[in-house]
Amino acid sequence: MGYAAGWGFCNHGLRQVFAEEDLLPISALQHFAFCERRAALILLEGAWEENFFTADGKIFHERSEGYQTEMRGDLRIVRGLPMRSLRLGLMGKADVVEFQRAPREKTTLKNASDRVVDECGSWLPFPIEYKRGRLRHEEGYEVQLCAQALCLEEMLEVTIPRGAVYYGQTKRRLDIVFDQSLRQRTERIALQLHQMIFDKRVPVARYEKKCTGCSLFTLCLPKTTGSPKSARTYLLGIVNNGGN
Ligand code: SF4
pLDDT tens for residues 55-111? 555 655 655 556 788 999 889 999 999 999 999 999 999 999 999 987 666 656 566
- Percent of the chain clearing pLDDT 70 (strictly above): 74
Task: Assess whether 193 and 212 both reside in one domain.
Answer: no
Task: Assess whether 89 and 183 both reside in one domain.
Answer: yes
pLDDT of residue 116: 81
24 CA → ligand 1 middle, Å: 20
CB atoms within 10 A of CB 143: 24
Q: 177: part of which helix (H) or strand (E)?
A: strand 172-177
Task: Assess whether 152 and 217 both reside in one domain.
Answer: no
Report yes or no on 162 lying in a domain. Answer: yes
In the 8-state DSSP scheme, what is residue 42? H
Task: Assess whether 72 and 22 both reside in one domain.
Answer: yes
Task: Establish whether residue 198 lines the binding site of ligand 1, counting it when its CB lies within 6 angstroms of any ligand atom.
Answer: no
Task: Assess whether 157 and 239 both reside in one domain.
Answer: no
Is-contact 96 29, C-beta < 8 A? Answer: no
pLDDT band at 10 (very low <50, low <70, confident <90, very high): very low
pLDDT band at 52 (very low <50, low <70, confident <90, very high): low
Contacts of 232 (CB under 8 A, 6+ apart): none
- CA neighbours closer than 13 Å in the CB half-sphere of residue 7: 20
Which of helix, strand or coil describes residue 159?
coil
Lowest mean pLDDT among 24-28, 109-113, 152-156, 161-165: 109-113
Task: Assess whether 131 and 211 both reside in one domain.
Answer: no
Of 214, 215, 225, which is best to mutate to test ligand 1, by the most ligand atoms within 8 angstroms of its C-beta? Answer: 214
Q: Is the pTM of this model over 0.85?
A: no
Task: Establish whether residue 37 lines the binding site of ligand 1, counting it when its CB lies within 6 angstroms of any ligand atom.
Answer: yes
140 CA → ligand 1 middle, Å: 15
Report yes or no on 110 lying in a domain. Answer: yes
Task: Assess whether 156 and 243 both reside in one domain.
Answer: no
Report yes or no on 1 lying in a domain. Answer: no
Report yes or no on 214 lying in a domain. Answer: yes
pLDDT at 15 over 60: no
pLDDT at 140 over 80: yes
pLDDT at 131 over 50: yes
pLDDT at 11 over 50: no
pLDDT of residue 234: 64
Report yes or no on 74 lying in a domain. Answer: yes
pLDDT band at 184 (very low <50, low <70, confident <90, very high): very high
Closest CA to 195 of 107, 117, 88, 99: 88
Task: Assess whether 208 and 146 both reside in one domain.
Answer: no
Print the domain residue range for 240: 204-244
Task: Establish whether residue 26 lines the binding site of ligand 1, counting it when its CB lies within 6 angstroms of any ligand atom.
Answer: no
Report yes or no on 3 lying in a domain. Answer: no
